């Protein structure tokens, strides 16, 4: 597997989060009037430029967990709890921008509920809070059997988001990431995803939830106008927005800026889009001037490289 793509994927999540954070919850109309063109700062959480939020922090927690414990939801959950309680992998030493389902999951973990049962699983728990941090597991399992992929992706989602819709969204994202890792273009990878036989899709997409993914799996998402694409925190909206941006643009910067300039849940749409675009365009597709402003950038880069060594082998 190409190191450059795996590294790009992890860094893409982090960069997308940091790009979108300063304008989180602002409208598309506001972005039209004043588009984001690069790394800004401040905004709703008053964080300096280059700050990651929950998306980046939890992705790094999962990557670190995989480096040290393999695929182990309990170990991952303990690191998520360290993020929540102690600010593990946060820019300034404390967690912030914590989603509702995630906060409830953290309280349940704290009470000793097992990781794979911790995530709330109601219809209203279908935010994008597990999708935004699932990529390291998808990268680790890129060559695994789809049944194993589905099982692990669902378990990793369930730490914070247990509803079958959120888990199914993570699985679709993981399938697309694995196509992209082979070097296919976004267009080829997306159309391959949509033409997969049922034996590939069924293990990870709950049958009752499938209608919710109809617009994605129909294979023509890119034909929808931007006005039809919502960029909210609802997991299906976020996944649609990320894939749409990936299909519409041809380099890392314009893909990510388009994602962020859709407005609304900009940091997470940025992070989810960034993971895919990072795989496609690789580490060198990400502008250096964006990476240079990341807070704790050296530590993030070191972990990302360690993760790549685990995935690809140290000497590949």
Binding footprint of Mg ion on the chain (CB under 5 A):
53-55, 97, 267
Kindly tell me which of 166 and 308 has the beta carbon lying closer to Mg ion.
166
User: Which residues are CB-contacts of 83 (< 8 A; sequence separation ≥ 6)?
Assistant: 54, 57, 58, 61, 89, 90, 95
- CA–CA distance, 6 with 309 (Å, rounded to integer): 10
Place of tokens 């794979």: 116
Kindly tell me which of 26 and 54 has the beta carbon lying closer to Mg ion.
54
- CA–CA distance, 298 with 280 (Å, rounded to integer): 23
Least distance CB 47 / Mg ion (angstroms): 10
- CA–CA distance, 175 with 180 (Å, rounded to integer): 9
What are the distances in angstroms from CA 299 to CA 136, 273, 303?
17, 23, 6
Kindly tell me which of 40 and 206 has the beta carbon lying closer to Mg ion.
40
Q: Please give the distance of CA 260 from its chain centroid, rounded to a whole number.
A: 14
> HSE on the CB side for 127, CA within 13 Å?
17
Residue 235: count of CB within 10 angstroms of its CB? 29
Kindly tell me which of 253 and 266 has the beta carbon lying closer to Mg ion.
266
Torsion angle defined by CA atoms of residues 153, 116, 129 and 145, in that order, rounded to the nearest 10 degrees = 0
Helices (H) and strands (E) in the chain, counts: 17, 0
Kindly tell me which of 264 and 267 has the beta carbon lying closer to Mg ion.
267
Kindly tell me which of 45 and 191 has the beta carbon lying closer to Mg ion.
45
Sign of CA dihedral 8, 244, 96, 109: negative
State whether residue 47 is helix, strand or coil: strand
Q: Using an 8 Å Cβ cutoff, are 190 and 217 in contact?
A: no
Kindly tell me which of 95 and 142 has the beta carbon lying closer to Mg ion.
95
Kindly tell me which of 55 and 240 has the beta carbon lying closer to Mg ion.
55
Instruction: State the residue number with the nearest CB to Mg ion.
Output: 53
- CA–CA distance, 195 with 189 (Å, rounded to integer): 10
């Amino acid at each position: 597997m190409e190191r450059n793509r795996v590294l790009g994927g992890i860094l893409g999540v982090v960069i997308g989060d940091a790009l979108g954070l300063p304008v989180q919850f602002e409208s598309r109309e506001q972005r039209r009037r004043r588009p984001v063109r690069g790394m800004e700062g401040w905004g709703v959480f008053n964080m300096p430029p280059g700050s990651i939020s929950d998306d980046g922090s939890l992705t790094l927690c999962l990557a670190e967990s995989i480096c040290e414990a393999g695929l182990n939801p309990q170990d991952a959950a303990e690191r998520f709890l360290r993020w929540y309680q102690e600010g593990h992998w946060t820019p300034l030493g404390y967690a912030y921008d914590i989603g509702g389902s995630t906060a409830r999951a953290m309280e349940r973990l704290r009470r000793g509920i097992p990781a794979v049962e911790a995530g709330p699983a109601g219809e209203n728990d279908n935010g994008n809070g597990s999708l935004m941090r699932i990529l390291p597991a998808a990268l680790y399992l890129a060559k695994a059997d789809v049944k194993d992929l589905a099982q692990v992706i669902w378990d990793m989602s369930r730490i914070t988001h247990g509803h079958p819709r959120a888990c199914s969204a993570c699985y679709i994202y993981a399938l697309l990431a694995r196509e992209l890792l082979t070097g296919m273009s976004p267009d080829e990878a997306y159309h391959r995803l949509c033409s997969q036989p049922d034996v590939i899709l069924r293990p990870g997409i709950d049958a009752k939830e499938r209608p919710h993914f109809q617009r994605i799996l129909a294979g023509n998402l890119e034909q929808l106008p931007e006005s039809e694409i919502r960029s909210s925190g609802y997991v299906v909206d976020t996944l649609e927005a990320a894939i749409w941006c990936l299909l519409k643009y041809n380099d890392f910067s314009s893909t990510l800026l388009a994602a962020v300039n859709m407005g609304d849940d900009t940091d997470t749409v940025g992070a989810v889009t960034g993971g895919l675009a990072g795989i496609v365009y690789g580490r060198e597709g990400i502008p250096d001037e964006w990476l240079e402003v990341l807070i704790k950038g050296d530590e993030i880069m070191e972990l990302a490289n360690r993760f790549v060594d685990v995935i690809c082998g140290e000497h590949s």
